[in-house]
Copies of this chain bind each other. A is one copy, B any other.
């Protein structure tokens, strides 16, 4: 398992008139979480796109909202890879507020698509090599 934490402060423009982080802004938090999680492994999403010629479309999101995130709170985005990615990469997210309340969970699945052929490919070695040590028994 690979687990990574990253902070994100709730901005005014991200709240709605309920005074909460708008439900539609959570996917941006998943993006931040997963990009920073792989950056911490030494993997750059920009490199995947520019150098390996792959894009990573999201194929599904399953999200549960437990408690609201409020203005100016720093949310801890925990990004978890439970399994070595293959044809699909599955990110689990757990979001906590400063009081350590679990606010939100999500499971987001992405695939790798070759920009030239527009076909799905397996997770590149560039990423799996960096993950190996986290999944060896």
Contact = CB atoms under 8 A, between A and B. Distances in A.
A63 B12 CA distance: 19
Contacts of A64: 59-60
Contact of A16 (B15, B23, B45): B15
A12 B19 contact: no
Nearest to A19: B17
Contacts of A121: none
A133 to B, nearest CB: 25
A70 B126 CA distance: 23
A3 interface: no
Given A12-B17, A24-B28, A72 B46 contact: yes
Given A17-B16, A28-B24, A31-B11, A57 B65 contact: yes
A65 B72 contact: no
Interface string A66-78: 0010011000000
Interface of A: 11-13, 15-20, 22-28, 31-32, 35, 44-46, 55, 57-65, 68, 71-72
13 contacts: A13-B31, A15-B17, A16-B16, A17-B18, A20-B57, A24-B24, A24-B25, A46-B71, A57-B68, A59-B65, A60-B62, A60-B63, A60-B65
